[in-house]
Every structure is written in structure tokens, then in C-alpha cells.
């Protein structure tokens, strides 16, 4: 599938997901759709330490951000 998106490079520059073997990296619409379908949350929304665990579950997200306020 050809993705014609003018901001893929910009997305890649600011993507905080560290999972490198991903064909959706920089294509945020595909990233969100993929994780939403699995009832998950994209890696970029997780705090840095929790993101590296690659557990994208909603339960892990809540646990990771609980009590952090906006310190992320």
C-alpha cells in the first residue's frame, strides 16, 4: 500500500516509540488504527520508561501514568 503523506519525516523526527521493527513508524494514522484495533494505546503516549516495555495495553498505560500528573 502506498502511503502519500507529506509529514512522515516530521512524524519520524518526533516519534518516541523505540520499537524499531515497525512498518507503521511515522505513519501515525496507521499506528493508531493498529493499536486501537487491539484495544491498545500507541507507544508515544506512554512515559519513556514504560514505553520501552512494549506493553501497549490500556491497563499498563493507566498503571504507568497514575500519579504522574503531567510529568509524563
Q: How far is the CB of 36 from ligand SF4 (least distance, A)?
A: 10
Q: Mask of contacts with ligand SF4, 8-47, x by CB under 6 A?
A: ---------x-x--x-xx-----x--xx------xx----
Q: How far is the CB of 54 from ligand SF4 (least distance, A)?
A: 7
Closer to ligand SF4 at the Cβ: 19 or 72? 19
Give the DSSP per-residue string, the chain.
-----TTHHHHHHH------S-TTTT-HHHHHHHHHHTTB--GGGS-HHHHTTT--BHHHHHHHHTTTTT--
Amino acid at each position: 500500500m502506498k502511503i502519500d503523506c507529506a509529514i512522515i519525516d516530521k512524524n519520524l523526527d518526533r516519534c518516541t516509540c523505540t520499537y524499531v521493527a515497525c512498518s507503521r513508524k511515522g505513519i501515525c494514522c496507521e499506528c493508531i488504527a493498529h493499536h486501537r484495533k487491539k484495544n491498545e494505546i500507541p507507544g508515544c503516549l506512554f512515559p519513556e520508561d514504560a514505553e520501552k516495555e512494549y506493553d501497549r495495553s490500556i491497563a499498563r498505560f493507566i498503571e504507568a501514568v497514575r500519579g504522574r500528573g503531567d510529568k509524563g
